[in-house]
Amino acid sequence: MKAIVSHDIDHLTLTEHYLKDLIVPKYFVRSYIELFSGKISIAELLHRYGDVFTNQWQHIEALHEFNVKHKVPTTYFIGVNNGVGLSYSQKQSALWIQKMLQMGCDVGIHGIEFENFEKINAEYALFKDISKQASFGTRMHYIRTNDQTLANMAKAGYAFDSSEMGYKAPYKIGAMWEFPFQIMDGYIIQKPKQWQSKNFFQSCEETKKIIDKVVDLNLPYLGIDFHDRYFSASHKTWKDWYMWLIEYLISQKIEFVNFKTAIKELENKLE
C-alpha cells in the first residue's frame, strides 16, 4: 500500500465571504460551540479572531513546507468557480495557481459543476486556460456527484478524479482514472456533528482503524484529503492530527506518491 495525499482549498480570505454568504458568522457560532464543549481552548478561539485581522484563511505555503520537509508529494485542488461556500475570485485563484505551480506543486481543480456535461466541460476549459496545464485532475467541492458526473468528467478530458469516498481500488472510466479516498479531516474530526466532536487521541485512533482496513483489503493506495485551512494554530487538533498522520505513515514505512505517479504505476501494470 502507498499513500496519496491531497489538499482542498475552500477559502483564501475572510473578506471574500462578506457579501456572498454567511460562512464567517456561522464559523464563529461553531467556534463557541467547540469552546463550551471543551473541544478547543481559549487560545485557539483568540487565534481565530486573529485570522479576522490578518484576513487569512489559507495556509498553503506552511503546509507545503511541511510536506516538502517530510518528502510528501501532494496535489492541491483549487476552484475557478463559486458555489457552496467557495467564494474566492478567479483572479485570486489564478494568482495562487501560478504561485503553487512555481512552488513545484501538482495543482488540480476543486470542481463546482457536476450536474451536466456542458457546465463540467466549460469549467474544465476555464481551468485549463488559467493554469496552462495540458493534463490535470479534479475533486468535486463537497464531493458532490450524480449518476453521470464521473462519465462527464472523463468526457471533458480530466486525467483523474478523486471525488468518491470508499474502500475501493482505483478504476478507469474511459481514459480517466478514478481514485477513491478513505480519509478526510472533517469526517474524522467532526462527524457526526458539524463542529469538532473528537479530540486528538480519538481522531488518531479512528484513523488507525481506517488505515488497518485499507491494509486488510489489500488496496494499492490509501487516499487522504486534508484542507489547508486547518494547518494553523486556530485549529490545533486538526493540524496536530495531520502532522501525526504523516509521521505515523512514515513510521510504518508507507511510501507517498501523488496521483500522476500512481497513474503511471497503474498504466504500467495494464501493459
Condensed to tens digits (0 to 9), the pLDDT of residues 118-138 reads: 999 999 999 999 999 999 999
Taking each helix axis from N to C terminus, what angle separates 60-69 and 90-102, rounded to the nearest 10 degrees? 20
Q: Are the C-beta atoms of residues 195 and 34 closer than 8 Å to each other?
A: yes
Of the candidates 246, 174, 166, 175, the one whose C-alpha atom is nearest the C-alpha of residue 204 is 246
Beta-strand ranges (E) seen in 106-238 are 106-111, 137-140, 160-161, 171-173, 176-178, 183-184, 221-225
Query: What is the distance between the alpha carbons of residues 263 and 231, in angstroms, rounded to a whole number?
Result: 28
Q: Which fold has domain 2-12+58-270?
A: TIM Barrel (3.20.20)
Strands 176-178 and 171-173: antiparallel
Of the candidates 99, 93, 97, the one whose C-alpha atom is nearest the C-alpha of residue 107 is 97
pLDDT of 269: 87
pLDDT, mean of residues 232-252: 98
* C-alpha cell recorded at residue 202: 480519538
Is the pTM of the predicted complex or chain greater than 0.85? yes
Side chain identity, residue 189: I
pLDDT of 270: 85
pLDDT, mean of residues 183-207: 96
Please provide the DSSP assignment of 140-161 as one string. Answer: EGGG---TTHHHHHHHHT-SEE
Query: In this model, does residue 271 exceed pLDDT 90?
Result: no
Query: What is the distance between the alpha carbons of residues 54 and 212, in angstroms, rounded to a whole number?
Result: 40
Spacing of C-alpha 224 from chain mean position:
8
Q: Are the C-beta atoms of residues 222 and 211 closer than 8 Å to each other?
A: yes
Would you list the domain boundaries of the chain? 2-12+58-270
Tally of residues, the chain: 271
Strand, helix or coil for residue 112: coil
Tens digits of residue pLDDT in 55-109: 999 999 999 999 999 999 999 999 999 999 999 999 999 999 999 999 999 999 9
